[in-house]
Structure 1
Amino acid sequence: MMMQPFHLLVVMATGIALVQCHGGEHHISADGCGVTKGCFRDPSGCTGPTDCDYFTSWMLDENKNNKFTVTGTATGYVALGFSNNPGMKDSDVYACTKNNEVVRSYNNADEYQNIGAELKGVSEVAVAVVDGRIECSFIRQAYLVDNDATYFDLRENNTYNIIMAKSDDLTGDGNVVYHGATKTGSPEQFSFTDFEDAVGGMEGLPLQKSHGSLMVIAWVGFASVGIVMARFFKPMWPDTKICGVAVWFALHRTFMVMTFLCTVAAFIIIFIHTGYYFTPDEGLPRFLHALFGTIVTFCVILNPVMALFRPHPGEPRRPIFNWAHWFVGTGGHTLAMVTIIIGLNNGDFVSLIDDLPSRVFWVMIAFIFFHYIVWLLFEIQRCLTDSQGRTNDIPLHGSDKGSSQQHLSQNDSYAPPPEVAFAGFKTSLPHGFQMCFRSSCCNKDDAYRDDRICQTTEEGSMAKTVLLVIYLVGVLFTVIFIVTSIAVVPA
């Protein structure tokens, strides 16, 4: 039986509609990648559209225009862009959306702003959502003659980085939303008249994670504890030595060496990742993060160099070194906290590791308050209980003025001011007791022992130890929380 003309039209219309809705599904394939068409895929181990998170291919039609196919595991949009760098700035972007359309935008080179752009030079658009994936195809003219600088010329000899992004969401009016960490890109540039078979991925993300983790470990962890030991714990444990030097100095030196190693490693890693230095053109937050990080790295290198040439205790230039060492160390630590906050903030600033939960930023803010509150308590405790002056100041080793141990002995034995205040009255101390008090000697057999002074010293030591334990718990929790949060960010 012959089909009636009306029925034939219905079948033809249905077929056209099915092709329009599912054209991406039928045309997207990895067959011929690198031979008859160019391809870009992510992750590196995937074999084609069905198992790649991102996949795009391109070939030339008879008019030498580019026919693109795009797919990704998303239900809102999948975007393909052409960029002058491996990042998102200065890029011409085409997003295939679940609304069966292609939306064009331009990412500003100055402030990373996503600016809507007129869709032109694009034809034969077909978009479909299939099994949790968006599949799309369209033809884009290689170039236009309207002098639109945001429309990138894909003709021969012009090369660009490929960037892709995706999201399950759209704005209410059908435009794209920020994609967070769900993005990828090619580290190298391609000509879209050649047939490359390129593998992209988030190869840079592990480097970003390593950089961020090392800086947090260095400055929230090692540097914070190392500075506390030097500032508040010089009078503690006077009769105990580690490798022949005071406990505070051994711990301070160890923690600051670890700070130095972690910081320098993180600094090198981020340059390996970016390949260049952030400039103001990439946005003020990124530039400030890079600038402050460079200053912090300079401080962590400068301080140990100064320490190698420090004058001995008692020499006229020793106070100059003490103030310079304090300024560079404390200033570098404070600036490092600010730099880490900029790097972790995923709000109005820009997080250098996308998709970090906002709670990571607020935990870092909470640690800043915790850090300075504990420091204030340490200062109050020191004013109430510590003897006047500093003890156990460390000279250089191996000079003609004697060994470190000799200087420690001389430094610990000089007399404090002849009067010390306790419980509202002043008392003069015999010279022998002054020596004992200066070095915190309160042994039961000491001939000059004064129980009032010894009780005050012991109570102060206990309070200081309790504060140290609280501080160490806070530091350890913060470091573990932030580093773990960075580690679990999806690649």
Structure 2
Amino acid sequence: MPSSSKTLAGTLTVLIGLLSHCGHVAHAYSSGAPSSACVTMLPIHGPIAQQVPSPYVVNVSSVEVLPSGTVTVTISGDDFKGFMVTAYSSDFAVGTMVPLNNQAKVVCNALSITHTGSALKPNVTFQWTAPGDMFEGTLINFKATIVKERVIFWTGILSAEPLVYVETSPDLPQSGGTSNSTTTNDPGSVLLPTATTTIAPGKTNQFPGHLASDTECGKSKACFHDCEAGKCTFIVSWDDDGDVIVMSMTYRVPDSNEHWVAVGFSKDQEMGDDSVTECIMHDGEVKVQQSYNDGMDNKYLDNKKAALSEQSGKLEDGLLHCTFHRKKSYPRDPLIFDLNNDYYLMVAVGEALNGIKIPHTFDVLPPVSDHRIDLQAMENVAGEEPPTNVLVQIHGALMIISWVMLMSIGITTAKYGKAMFPKINPFGVNIWFQIHRACLVTAAVLTVIAVLIMAVQCKGYCQIPLIAGEGKNHWPLHPVLGLLVLVLTVINVSLWPAHTSGNCLIGCLGEPVHLYCSKKETHSCYLPN
């Protein structure tokens, strides 16, 4: 290949490489961790966390803490620029962070604490206040992410020893407590409890941080849940009562942010064309509302309270709970499905902001029932991940065959085949060129088929939602770059009739596209199904 064509190929390789990484744009937050880090506790700095042992330690001032008690937490070690710390119990964020100086501020509804500036710090000290309603003997660990430099950071740093939650101290009298709740006149909402409950001495929680399974499921009421070994994240129960279905939803919220839980009635096991009823927290209230899944978009109905009555809800002991009556038939709105029919059930959960649902993540899809459920029957159904999408897997297999196998063989043959097979010319054409052409034409055809398969699956252009997390923020670019690859592949193949005059462009387009696609297909294995 002439030097000019090599330069052009190199330039294209760099440009495509930049495109493939544009989802990894680095954002440095000198004023503290962004809200997207509330779940992942990962900085959006681009590189991965250090794998060597951390030079930092997280110490607490006491090994025990009383209800609503306070402990002092200190981070020390090498100088560092940024940090984020959250207290966890059974993978749930708990308590309230309290900064002691202007080096720190609270984020994530005060569940976490982070830095306020990028100056080097030899150490930092802050306080943590325990909840007032945890169980005796609960263990609390402080988990930290510490940034030494912009591209050098450690995550998952645990406190030197766990903190133990105790209800009484030899120096303090034991106290009892009551729980009160206040309701509003709005039939669609109820105020959350404002008082705490002190649990009797010696009482322990069999599954701290989890919702316990309901032994009445399948006996006195029907249920749909995700329980395993007595531990649940959600339970949806219902009872047939003439013209209405009396439903109840309970969800174990992972933190003190606003959250929502929704049940969908679907004609299949995929999101799209689903009637949805949801319970959502907002301003100390739990509201029950109706919505509809229009494809991958969830939209509220014109009348959010249609077909609903007898609504109530509360948040207590970390459990979001709501009950409501749902009319079986509501002919005035076809988007509210007739519950006299059987449907697949699916349950989704997520966070809310100012009463607006934040879409659930798509890397782990909401559980769905394995069969259509008769809501008039007594069933006890465990939800499971949706079945594997065959078309998506065929698409992935075709792209891997095309770009990891066939294109690699074709390009390698073109590069080394001339010298290896100088005199083998079946049908008057050198064997290296026949192998090269066969591989690339087959790869191009399979690429077109793979793209068409996804167009059929998505009924048009496919969209992948933005998902927070390390290595996931580039996922929405996959369809865009896939179409770019398709266009370049078709152009590359169309240049072949020109043969000699097209060799330069063929090489300039083929090699960088192959380099990018080989990496792209490897990363695509982690995309949501």
Give the TM-score taking structure 2 as reference length: 0.46
Instruction: Please tell me whether Structure 1 or Structure 2 has the larger radius of gyration of its CA atoms.
Output: 1
Higher helix proportion, which one? 1
Instruction: Answer 1 or 2: which has greater strand percent.
Output: 2
TM-score, scaled to structure 1: 0.49
